[in-house]
Amino acid sequence: MIRCVNILVFFIITFFIGSSLAAKEDKSPEYIKYVDEIVNNFVKDMEKKYKLHCYGSGGSMPKDVEKIDVLFISYQKSSIEDARKIEVAAVQELLKRINNHKEIRQYLSEYPFNINNVSVSISFRTKTDDYPLDGSIASVFIAKNKIFYYTAEMKISDPLTSISLDENNKPVTKVIPGELEEELVPLMEETYEEALKIVKTAPTPNEK
């Protein structure tokens, strides 16, 4: 099982590179402990409810908590409707946990946290850990108040050109053909508000 990357390590690597590191205290900021607590409990529940496996987390936390990101992998086949439902549910659940956590509140860059302060990405894979090539959703994520949906296709990569010298020191050009590889292809996008409205008004199984 893919384990969630420790958010403290991710934070140090991502956000302290290039900074002055002038803090006099040896211990990490208090809010990192709270972010860890929120994210760890969140991903455990998402795995139980939707079979999502966390493979990374982080965000933007230079002086306070500005943004929290969580990345998941799902080995379930997903349609747009399924991906939308899971993405919206995950975003709402993460926001609820952050805003209801009293200890972290004083460290939030703004309260209440909103969809611009969180990011949930889900990568859908097959049992062989490849992207599905049957037209189903391969990736869904939220950015700048929009949810983006991608499928995957096999495409030939661009050829590579190399130049070398022969035995007479004359340049020889060699073209290396492109290889067949998976590529994510944009399928559609919608605002978070549009997606939320669709999810809320979607009929339950008993209503269909």
Domain boundaries of the chain, sorted by first residue: 7-152+184-201
Please say if the pLDDT value at position 208 is more than 60. no
More confident residue, 60 or 17: 60
pTM (predicted TM-score): 0.75
More confident residue, 63 or 122: 122
Q: What is the mean pLDDT of residues 87-111?
A: 95
Q: What pLDDT sits at residue 27? A: 62
Q: What pLDDT sits at residue 1? A: 42
Angstrom distance (rounded) from CA 204 to CA 208: 7
Residue pair 52/72 in contact (Cβ under 8 Å)? The answer is yes
Q: Which of 116, 100, 21, 133 is nearest to 60 (CA)?
A: 116
For residue 148, give the 3-state DSSP assignment.
strand
Q: What is the mean pLDDT of residues 25-33?
A: 72
Please return the burial class of 25, using the count of CB atoms within 10 Å of its CB with bins 0-12, 13-18 and 19+. exposed
Please say if the pLDDT value at position 199 is more than 50. yes
Mean pLDDT over all residues of the chain? Answer: 84
Confidence of residue 76 (pLDDT cuts 50, 70, 90): very high
More confident residue, 95 or 11: 95
Confidence of residue 119 (pLDDT cuts 50, 70, 90): very high
Q: What is the mean pLDDT of residues 99-103?
A: 95
Q: Residues of the chain with pLDDT > 70: what percent?
A: 83
More confident residue, 117 or 178: 117
CA angle 8, 184, 48 (to 5 degrees): 50
Q: What pLDDT sits at residue 16? A: 37
How many of the other CB atoms lie within 10 Å of CB of 37?
15
Q: What is the mean pLDDT of residues 132-143?
A: 95
